[in-house]
């Protein structure tokens, strides 16, 4: 069976059209059964004409969110002429609201994602958290607002993402006895490095469940009590060297730990722009 092909067309980013289209597709097929191509920031009719042409050639359908009424009308008519299935995702809602509120829409693309300073900071922070996750690039340590350190399965990654949505650049570094932490970890202000401590019993339970989810036995070294004790001893040694704050995450949800960190950041001594590397 050939893959279904769907074009998503928008005079903005196209996120709304893609989300709705994927939600509808999930009722018919898995992600492996279709190819979706986004055509964002449409500024002229020729782009629309080209989209319809390719859709016709490939037997594809089109879903679109166009706030420009001229673009909407052209795309609908062009698709009709070429016998291409074309769905206006936003138009009916705009028309209904126009009738209900008795006023014309602003017809400005992308208002829901107004690219203000806060939006840019949030996107940048999220990208930062992904790029410098799990110590994959030690350069992130010196650029981060916060560096989370802890042994495996202390929720470093989800916590990094949660804080990124608060516009904080977060790097995280796993602490493993066989691997020396990056030297940059010892060069940043100690209060910007936050240790995530966990009880050996809790960590043992979490790791056993993790192994089970992977179809592995819970007797692997990863969940071995002696191995866990060794890792936590090494973690405590590193924390002592850094002299950084520590949060016990044994019985805390990610949101709870994040709120503790956000409260710490509000303390007078905290300066997101202070960095020893720049002194």
Which neighbouring-strand residues pair with 35? 5
Give the span between the Cα atoms of 203 and 266, in whole angstroms.
30
φ/ψ (deg, to 5) at 194: -120, 120
| Angle, CA of 62, 80 and 11, to the nearest 5° | 40
Q: Does residue 156 have a known ligand-binding role?
A: yes
Separation CA 49–CA 76 (nearest Å): 11
Has 157 been labeled as part of a binding site?
yes
Give, rounded to a whole angstrom, the gap between the first and last alpha carbons of the chain.
Answer: 62
- For 34-38, the CB contacts below 8 A with 24+ separation are 34/3, 34/4, 34/5, 34/6, 35/3, 35/4, 35/5, 35/6, 36/5, 36/6, 36/7, 36/8, 37/5, 37/6, 37/7, 37/8, 38/8, 38/10, 38/14
Q: Beta-carbon neighbour count of residue 11 at 10 Å?
A: 23
Query: Is 16 known to sit in a ligand binding site?
Result: no
- The order of strands in the sheet holding 146-150 is 170-174, 146-150, 193-197, 246-248
- Tokens in use for 198? 């966990």
**Number of other CB atoms surrounding residue 166 within 10 Å:** 15
Residue 153 counted as an annotated binding residue: yes
User: 257 among the known binding-site residues?
Assistant: no
Q: Is 225 annotated as a binding residue?
A: no
135 is known to lie in a ligand binding site: no
Q: Residues comprising the binding site for ADP?
A: 150-157
């Amino acid at each position: 069976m050939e893959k279904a092909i769907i074009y998503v067309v928008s005079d903005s980013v196209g996120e709304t059209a893609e989300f709705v289209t994927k939600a509808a597709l999930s009722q018919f097929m898995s992600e492996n059964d279709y190819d979706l191509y986004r055509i964002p920031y449409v500024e002229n009719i020729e782009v629309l004409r080209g989209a319809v042409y390719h859709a016709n050639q490939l037997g594809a359908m089109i879903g679109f969110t166009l706030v420009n009424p001229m673009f909407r009308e052209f795309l609908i008519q062009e698709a009709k002429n070429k016998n291409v299935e074309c769905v206006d995702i936003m138009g009916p809602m705009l028309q209904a609201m126009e009738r209900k509120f008795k006023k014309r829409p602003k017809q400005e693309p992308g208002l829901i994602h107004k690219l203000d300073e806060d939006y840019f900071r949030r996107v940048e922070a999220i990208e930062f958290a992904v790029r410098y996750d799990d110590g994959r690039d030690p350069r992130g340590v010196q650029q981060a607002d916060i560096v989370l350190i802890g042994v495996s399965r202390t929720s470093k990654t989800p916590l990094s993402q949660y804080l990124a949505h608060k516009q904080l650049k977060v790097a995280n570094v796993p602490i493993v006895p066989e691997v020396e932490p990056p030297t940059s970890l010892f060069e940043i202000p100690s209060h910007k490095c936050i240790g995530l401590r966990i009880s050996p019993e809790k960590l043992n339970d979490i790791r056993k469940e993790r192994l089970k989810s992977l179809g592995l036995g819970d007797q692997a070294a990863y969940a071995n009590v002696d191995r866990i004790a060794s890792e936590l001893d090494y973690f405590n040694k590193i924390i002592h060297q850094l002299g950084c704050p520590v949060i016990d995450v044994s019985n805390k949800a990610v949101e709870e730990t994040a709120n503790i960190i956000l409260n710490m950041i509000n303390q007078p001594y905290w300066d997101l722009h202070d960095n020893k590397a720049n002194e």
